[in-house]
Structure 1
């Protein structure tokens, strides 16, 4: 965040229109252009975008939605909002993403959708997943929460998805404070999502206020309050301009980490898959059995050196919220290994070389002094 974001928000405040309005519409257009998407619908969060995606895709109560357990819990929660059940699939132990093979093992006769996550910004291999699901009329929803700036087979992540959901939470490298986006190649789905996010009104608040005497709006179905504000969108418009440089800098820092970690026995760092590039929204490391200390031991060593690292991605099926859930239909060994043995290292645009070296020094020698 910088002076440009402050100025953009100030301009919105001075305009007298701070709710969903012209800045949101411009942000949608700019984001769609950047991600090579047909339609973009701004929302209050990625979770609300996932919810809307399931609704417009026609996922019904009682149906099953295959999801990776190895993801932030919102990925699993969204299907429950529409009365469906998340069915947990395992992930590839290298990328941390679900694959066509792990999805196939988790399919049930009630499966109507799959949520494929670009975990930590690593692009999911979407084409084989679509090839598996589309002949069975199973909708593939891409959870691209972390992936703005990542590339899949030469195109921006999400470009090939029928519907995708994005996050602009402060942990993401393109942020609006809070906020999300739904993108889609399906014009009817995008139109319905646009109405549903605003209580399913037949005319938006912005369009009604543009008229001196507007006709009464109608509400054809039960909708939601999932709107983004112009204040948030103004920040997002500045952030879009920064994204390319931020991704370049993050990949530079990640390369410096990876060069050092490659020489340390017992550690494995996340890396680009063969079919794309990651924005390194999260730089995670797996602590293997031949490393001198456990994952939690390494977290403690980093903390003693004044380094704030974090445990790796959670496994939703191990959380109390899903303790009595019947969504585990296949073993999840890679999920459980990764959530138990990974941690996320500090990586941010302003990270100094001296700070990164402090992290690397601990990785090389984690033993207490």
Structure 2
């Protein structure tokens, strides 16, 4: 079986986790602080705040921007459902916007089409590692007076305008789930440049305490903490951060390998009518966290038929990115959701092909042979 994704975990990660266990400090502590600093530097941000997942990172980003009941937040429907769910966590209403066909991302035009007087923020996703147009959307959000929260769950190692995808973001949320290029098992990060917001985020992830548990334990004298606001337990452990530090050191090589594999896919798929592979936008470069293709009618076989053919050949592939507005959880918003033709086309007609560090050239040829056979070519 050729898997769709395999996390790159080795002996170094195992040793790092074991050292954290042997140290006796397994909760949020010094390794988390080092991981925050290293990750922020890697993505061009002033501060990193480690949390338990990208979902909790998005939640906290909305909290620090004071988004709440009565507010609307524009989000892509074409995203994992956590993007929209985070909006509901703060009592606000998600408003679904359409995306561009080539990259599956929000654009200035698609956001503007659903913007209203109640809009308070936009959550823009770097979809599958393909960066959205950061310059255009950041400038537009500023002109509209809206907070722009960047869902960079899949974007570690992606670039936009010659910089890391998260560089210059007012606030960005990242994921370290095993499906991502680097992983801590579960875990996430908020990155930003604002020092005061970063300090508040650190309090919010730790019950609202004015002094962290790590600082309390490091003190030679008893410390009486205060709880400044109702907050959350969204902490990352030092065991996770130890793994994350090793993973982060692998990121450049992993991204380079994935880009080479993606280029090879594009070569093999060239000249196959009706099958359009994701490509880099003119202003940036994807990390190819996912390699997806769009299956158009002229291909000769439908997306689901392709998935079946791949499975029969021992190849694991996946449906394309979900559309949250079509899920039962958001049926209550159907009457107020604008038409989303590109979103529905992409979620219906796209599939994700295997891409990971163990994938060989022979594997890719085998996969493309199945695709060609399904189309009768």
**TM, length-normalised to structure 1:** 0.98
Distance 1:205 1:298 in 2: 52
Q: Which residue of 2 aligns with 1:98?
A: 106
Listed one character per residue, the Cα deviations across residues 291-310 of structure 1 (whole Å, up to 9, x for unaligned) are 11100001011111110000
In structure 2, the gaps of 5 or more residues are: 1-8
**2:215 is the alignment partner of 1:207:** yes
Match of 1:56 in 2: 64
Structure 1 gap segments, 5+ residues each:
none
Deviation at 1:215, TM superposition (A): 2.3
Correspondence 1:136 to 2:144 = yes
Structure 2 Cα separation of the partners of residues 117 and 348 of structure 1: 22
Matches of 1:328 and 1:310, distance apart in 2: 30
Aligned residue number for residue 145 of structure 1: 153
- Distance of 2:335 and 2:218 partners within structure 1: 48
User: Structure 1, residues 296-352: CA drift from partner, whole Å, max 9, x if none?
Assistant: 001011111110000000000000000112584421000000000000000001112
Given that residues 317 and 328 in structure 1 are in contact (C-alpha distance below 8 angstroms), is that contact kept between their aligned partners in structure 2?
A: no
Report Cα offsets for 1:64-119 as digits up to 9, x if no partner.
00000000000000010000000000000111000000000010110000000000
Determine the C-alpha separation between the residues in 1 that align with 2:343 and 2:168: 26
SS of the residue corresponding to residue 5 of structure 1 reads: helix
- Give RMSD over aligned pairs: 1.3
Alpha carbons 1:88, 1:327 under 8 Å: kept: no
Aligned partner (choices 294, 303, 308) of residue 300 of structure 1: 308
**Preserved contact between residue 322 and residue 347 of structure 2 (Cα < 8 Å):** yes
1:38 aligns to what?
46
Alignment of 1:187-266 (within 5 A): 187-266=195-274
Checking the alignment, whether the CA contact within 8 Å between 1:113 and 1:140 is kept in structure 2 is yes
Runs of 4+ residues over 4 Å off in structure 1: none
Aligned residues: 369
Matched residue SS, 1:28: helix
Aligned equivalent of 2:170:
162
Distance 2:253 2:223 in 1: 46
Query: 2:158, 2:164 within 8 Å by CA — same for their partners in 1?
Result: yes
What is aligned with 1:285? 293
Moved more, 359-368 or 136-145: 359-368
Note the C-alpha offset of 1:127. Answer: 1.5
Equivalent residue, structure 2, for 1:75: 83
